[in-house]
């Protein structure tokens, strides 16, 4: 039988109710359930991770489940989930298909992130429940953002690609995104949309104060290092979570991780169909 690890949105009643009913159903079939946010170390006992919430909950599930490259099934209790696969009403059918082997695994590239610099400035969370401590290594499914802390002050960031200096940016910030994260902050900063199953690294400036204002699409084998120059400090955000404050001399190294996120899919939704819904791309309105 299978041990299923639950990651549940902490503030949504419907997520908690669905978790309770799903737990009862799974246990009636001989499976066992653990709550991974209570103890993420229990992931070592699991064969499947079930995310009940929106994309934010799914990101936490990936953060935990990708450590062992476990299959992760997302149930959408948010608005329009890019990452979640199914709606709550379809969960019973989806689990039956999963246990019957009627599913596919879609691998998504993850970024390995290393923040180096003054430990006194690096304050963050840890999903393993440790006390606040310096963040040195982390992973990102969507994006890493280095962004100014104070309005009215641009930051200066020197960018190295594969160990070679490329350019110094005078900008409000820089986004290093995966294809999965291309439809998030990257898109709002006028970065390109990439199919989420691609392997690539996107670099997009945020309101650059310079002539070169284009995004770049890099090979997954190329590392990106963002080094802070003289000037005001910046915030480091990983998948929407603040992990560090960095200043002159500090750096953020981003590269393709050795592991990937394994998302369970039933081919219910295609990426371009999600885009059409999100952006209201009705064929008649587009002149097709």
Q: What is the pLDDT of residues 192-249, one digit of tens each?
A: 999 999 999 999 999 999 999 999 999 999 999 999 999 999 999 999 999 889 999 9
Distance CA 270, CA 104 (A): 13
- For the chain, the 3-state helix, strand and coil shares in percent, each to the nearest 5, are 25, 35, 40
Indicate the pLDDT class of residue 119, thresholds 50, 70 and 90. low
pTM listed for this prediction: 0.88
Tokens at 199, concatenated: 């392997």
pLDDT of residue 287: 54
Catalytic residues: 55
3-103+266-279 and 110-258, same CATH topology: no
Residue 133 above 60 pLDDT? no
Q: How far is CA 71 from the centre of its chain?
A: 16
> How many Cα atoms occupy the beta-carbon half-sphere of 94 within 13 Å?
23
Tokens at 218, concatenated: 């890099």
Q: What element of type H or E holds 13?
A: helix 13-28
The phi-psi region of residue 30 (left if phi > 0; otherwise alpha if psi is between -120 and 50; otherwise beta) is left
Instruction: List b or e across 75-92, with b for residues whose CB sees 16 or more CB atoms inside 10 angstroms.
Output: bbbbeebbbbbbebeebe
Q: 11-15, 134-138, 256-260: which has the minimum mean pLDDT?
A: 134-138
Residue tagged 């295609």 (tokens): 270
Q: What element of type H or E holds 105?
A: strand 104-116
The domain made up of 110-258 is a member of CATH 2.60.200.30: yes
Enter the CATH code of domain 3-103+266-279. 3.40.50.10330
pLDDT of residue 135: 56
Asked if 224 and 253 touch (Cβ cutoff 8 Å), the reply is: yes
Distance CA 93, CA 17 (A): 18
Q: Could you report the per-residue pLDDT of 172-187, keeping only the tens digit for each?
A: 999 999 999 999 999 9
**DSSP letters along 138-173, please?**
EEESSEEEEEESSTT--EEEEEEETTEEEEEEEESE
Structural domain spans, the chain = 3-103+266-279, 110-258
Tokens at 43, concatenated: 């992931």
Distance CA 194, CA 249 (A): 32
Residue tagged 């949105």 (tokens): 9
Instruction: Return the SS3 of 66.
Output: coil
Instruction: Return the SS3 of 42.
Output: helix
Q: Which residues pair with 76 in a beta bridge?
A: 53
Tokens at 201, concatenated: 């690294």
Q: 116-120, 138-142, 235-239, 246-250: which has the minimum mean pLDDT?
A: 116-120
Strands 71-76, 251-265: pairing is parallel
| Average of per-residue pLDDT values in the chain | 89
Indicate the pLDDT class of residue 267, thresholds 50, 70 and 90. confident
């Amino acid at each position: 039988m299978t041990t299923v690890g639950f990651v549940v949105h902490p503030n949504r009643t419907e997520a908690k109710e669905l978790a309770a009913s799903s737990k009862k159903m799974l246990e009636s079939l001989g499976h066992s359930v653990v709550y991974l946010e209570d103890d993420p170390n229990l992931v070592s006992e699991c064969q499947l991770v079930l995310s009940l919430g929106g994309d934010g909950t799914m990101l936490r599930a990936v953060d935990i489940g990708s450590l062992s490259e476990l299959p992760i099934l997302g149930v959408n209790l948010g608005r329009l989930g890019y990452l979640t696969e199914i709606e709550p009403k379809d969960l019973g059918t989806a689990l039956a298909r999963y246990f019957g082997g009627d599913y596919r695994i879609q691998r998504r590239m993850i970024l390995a992130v290393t923040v180096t610099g003054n430990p006194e400035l690096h304050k963050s969370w840890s999903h393993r429940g440790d006390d606040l401590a310096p963040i040195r290594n982390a992973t990102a499914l969507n994006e890493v953002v280095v962004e100014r802390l104070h309005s009215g002050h641009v930051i200066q960031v020197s960018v190295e690609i594969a160990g070679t200096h490329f350019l110094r940016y005078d900008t409000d910030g820089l986004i290093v995104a995966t294809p999965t994260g291309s439809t998030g902050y990257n898109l709002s900063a006028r970065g390109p949309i990439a199919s989420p199953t691609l392997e690539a690294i996107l670099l997009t400036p945020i309101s650059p104060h310079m002539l070169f204002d284009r995004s770049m699409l890099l090979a997954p084998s190329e590392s990106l290092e963002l080094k802070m120059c003289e000037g005001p400090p910046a915030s480091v955000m990983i998948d929407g979570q603040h992990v560090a404050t960095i200043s002159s001399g500090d750096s953020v190294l981003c590269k393709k991780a050795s592991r990937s996120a394994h998302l369970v899919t039933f081919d219910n939704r295609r990426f371009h169909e999600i885009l059409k819904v999100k952006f209201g791309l009705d064929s008649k309105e587009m002149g097709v």
